[in-house]
């Protein structure tokens, strides 16, 4: 944009300069020629009184003195053929002047001025002077140089002014682009300053209105999610009462633990929905959270004859995500194993430190594997599920500064590798 503005201004100023400078240059050339011609004419006419009444000796002396003073050379032609002063040929202009007509004519290498002198007793006479091409253009180059310098100065000043104006406009446009990027990153407090021309102020106002509207819509959406999540507390309460009414057994303990986990998840959904920045990362000990969730799912795995292999690093292993988010992530990974593999299929959970900080969580199973590579996308599922579980895993990893990758395990089955970034400093 800046370059285009400079090209546009430079083109317009250049055209304007050509429109003014070229006529001025031609005018300077014409004025110089007219001035030189007028000077030569005045010089020739200064001899007219002497030529009109003077004797031949006086005429010769007057012409000699005039030429010795310098300036344009003077030549006097008499009717009897006598030529006095600077050598010159009897040109057509001189012959025409003997008819009584004074004139200026183009000659080789310059311009000749002839002045007819009539009324002499000895016959007519003609005074001739010559102005060379150099004399006709004397001072023109200097005038052209001044015009060129003035034109170049005007062009440079206009480009400097245009560049400053372009910088200010680009700065405003860049500021609005920065505001849009901040909004896209979740900073709903970003606002564009209402500065510059009317059009840019209108764009800034529209962008700020959009930001306010997004903030209102997100607030309404969070409240709707919180309300829907809160409505789940009623059936959860019923489930809790039913679980507490069961005879004390290992199965009742598992049902109660499942209800507790669900209640924690609902509470977390309500809390996250009502936070102004739900994407803000937290911090927790990955070893403690992963060990707790693997222990929880191991009880169900024992009922389904699923071998469980765990390899967890030494605690603590801090990661840049909250405990609730990491719990939901691990639950989503293990729930996929139970939902999409037949009973008796084993799985393994491995947690290792990540180079540069954080942790790497790897979950593998001996099932049929993923039906396609797009399972990490939101809403994509190869079975009857909602397709949101692995998307939760991916988003949780990315919020912490990590990533999630699906692959096939070398021994068969599926492998999910999730990298979690370190806590924010």
Q: Are 97 and 126 in contact (CB under 8 A)?
A: yes
- Please indicate, yes or no, if residue 146 is contained in any of the structural domains: no
Return left, alpha or beta for 100; rule: phi > 0 is left, psi -120 to 50 is alpha, else beta.
Answer: left
Query: Last residue of some domain: 85, 111, 141?
Result: 141
pLDDT band at 349 (very low <50, low <70, confident <90, very high): very high
| Residue 412 Cα to chain centre, angstroms | 50
pLDDT band at 384 (very low <50, low <70, confident <90, very high): very low
Query: Last residue of some domain: 122, 141, 160?
Result: 141
d(CA 223, CA 234): 18
Query: Last residue of some domain: 141, 172, 193?
Result: 141
pTM of the model: 0.47
Kindly state the average pLDDT of the residues 89-118: 89
- Domain residues for the domain of 115 are 2-141
pLDDT band at 377 (very low <50, low <70, confident <90, very high): low
d(CA 274, CA 266): 13
d(CA 168, CA 57): 81
Kindly state the average pLDDT of the residues 310-336: 88
- Please indicate, yes or no, if residue 234 is contained in any of the structural domains: no
What are the tokens at 105? 């004519």
Strand ranges (E), 313-368: 318-319, 347-353, 359-365
- Please indicate, yes or no, if residue 264 is contained in any of the structural domains: no
Which span out of 1-5, 380-384, 391-395 was modeled with the highest average pLDDT? 391-395
- Please indicate, yes or no, if residue 307 is contained in any of the structural domains: yes
Beta bridge partners of 105: 112
CA distances from 15 to 19, 306, 325 (A): 6, 84, 66
The region of weakest confidence among 146-160, 245-259, 280-294, 352-366 is: 245-259
The predicted pLDDT at position 240 comes to 66
Kindly state the average pLDDT of the residues 181-202: 83
Q: Which of 140, 98, 91 is nearest to 115 (CA)?
A: 98
The predicted pLDDT at position 283 comes to 86
Q: What percent of the chain is predicted at pLDDT more than 90?
A: 16
Backbone φ, ψ for residue 316 (5° rounding): -90, 155
- Residue 373 in this model has a pLDDT that exceeds 70: no
CA distances from 380 to 375, 384, 388, 406 (A): 5, 10, 7, 14
- Residue 352 in this model has a pLDDT that exceeds 90: yes
The predicted pLDDT at position 280 comes to 54
- Residue 291 in this model has a pLDDT that exceeds 90: yes
d(CA 100, CA 96): 8
77: CATH: 3.30.450
- Please indicate, yes or no, if residue 44 is contained in any of the structural domains: yes
The predicted pLDDT at position 6 comes to 81
Q: What percent of the chain is predicted at pLDDT more than 70?
A: 86
The predicted pLDDT at position 211 comes to 87
Strand ranges (E), 301-402: 308-312, 318-319, 347-353, 359-365
Per the listing, tokens 């009184």 go with 49
pLDDT band at 378 (very low <50, low <70, confident <90, very high): very low
d(CA 65, CA 83): 15
Q: Which of 375, 416, 423, 380 is nearest to 399 (CA)?
A: 423
CA atoms within 13 A on the CB side of 246: 14
The region of weakest confidence among 113-127, 227-241, 287-301, 407-421 is: 227-241
- Residue 379 in this model has a pLDDT that exceeds 50: no
**Helix 250-274 to helix 286-303 angle, to the nearest 10 degrees?**
140
Kindly state the average pLDDT of the residues 411-415: 81
Domain count, the chain: 2
Q: Are 281 and 319 in contact (CB under 8 A)?
A: no
The region of weakest confidence among 2-6, 149-153, 338-342, 377-381 is: 377-381
d(CA 166, CA 172): 10
The predicted pLDDT at position 386 comes to 44
Q: Report the 10 Å Cβ neighbour count for 295.
A: 11
348: CATH: 3.30.565.10
d(CA 366, CA 414): 7
Per the listing, tokens 């929880």 go with 296
Write out pLDDT tens, residues 45-61: 888 888 888 788 888 88
The predicted pLDDT at position 380 comes to 46
Q: What is the mean pLDDT of the chain?
A: 82
What's the start-to-end Cα distance of the chain, in Å?
39
């Amino acid at each position: 944009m800046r370059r285009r503005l400079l090209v546009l201004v430079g083109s317009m100023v250049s055209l304007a300069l050509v429109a003014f400078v070229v006529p001025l240059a031609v005018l300077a050339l014409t004025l110089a020629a007219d001035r030189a011609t007028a000077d030569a004419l005045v010089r020739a006419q200064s001899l007219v009184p002497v030529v009109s009444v003077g004797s031949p000796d006086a005429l010769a002396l007057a012409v000699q003195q005039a030429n010795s003073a310098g300036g344009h050379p003077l030549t006097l032609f008499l009717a009897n053929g006598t030529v006095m002063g600077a050598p010159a040929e009897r040109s057509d202009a001189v012959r025409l002047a003997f008819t009584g007509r004074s004139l200026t004519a183009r000659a080789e290498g310059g311009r000749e001025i002839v002045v007819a002198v009539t009324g002499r007793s000895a016959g007519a006479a003609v005074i001739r002077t010559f102005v060379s091409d150099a004399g006709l253009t004397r001072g023109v180059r200097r005038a052209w140089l001044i015009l060129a310098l003035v034109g170049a100065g005007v062009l440079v000043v206009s480009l400097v002014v245009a560049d400053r104006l372009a910088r200010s406009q680009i700065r405003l446009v860049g500021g609005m682009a920065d505001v849009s990027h901040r909004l896209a990153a979740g900073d709903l407090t970003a606002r564009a300053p209402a500065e510059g021309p009317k059009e840019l102020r209108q764009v800034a106002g529209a962008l700020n209105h959009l930001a306010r509207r997004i903030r209102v819509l997100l607030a309404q959406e969070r409240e709707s999610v919180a309300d829907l999540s809160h409505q789940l507390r009623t059936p959860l309460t019923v489930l809790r009462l039913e679980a507490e009414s069961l005879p004390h057994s290992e199965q009742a303990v598992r049902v109660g633990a499942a209800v507790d986990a669900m209640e924690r998840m609902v509470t977390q959904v309500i809390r996250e929905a009502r936070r102004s920045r739900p994407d803000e990362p937290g911090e927790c000990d990955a070893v403690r959270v992963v060990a707790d969730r693997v222990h929880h799912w191991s009880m169900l795995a024992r009922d389904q004859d699923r071998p469980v292999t765990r390899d967890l690093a030494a605690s603590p292993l801090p990661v840049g995500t909250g405990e609730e988010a990491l719990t939901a992530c691990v639950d989503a990974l293990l729930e996929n194993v139970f939902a999409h593999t037949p009973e008796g299929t084993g799985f393994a959970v491995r947690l290792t430190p990540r180079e540069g900080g954080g942790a790497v969580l790897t979950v593998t199973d001996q099932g049929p594997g993923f039906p396609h590579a797009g399972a990490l996308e939101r809403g994509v599922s190869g079975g009857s599920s909602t397709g949101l579980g692995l998307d939760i895993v991916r988003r949780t990893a990315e919020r912490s500064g990590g990533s999630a990758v699906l692959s096939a395990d070398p021994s068969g089955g599926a492998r999910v590798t999730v990298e979690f970034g370190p806590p924010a400093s």
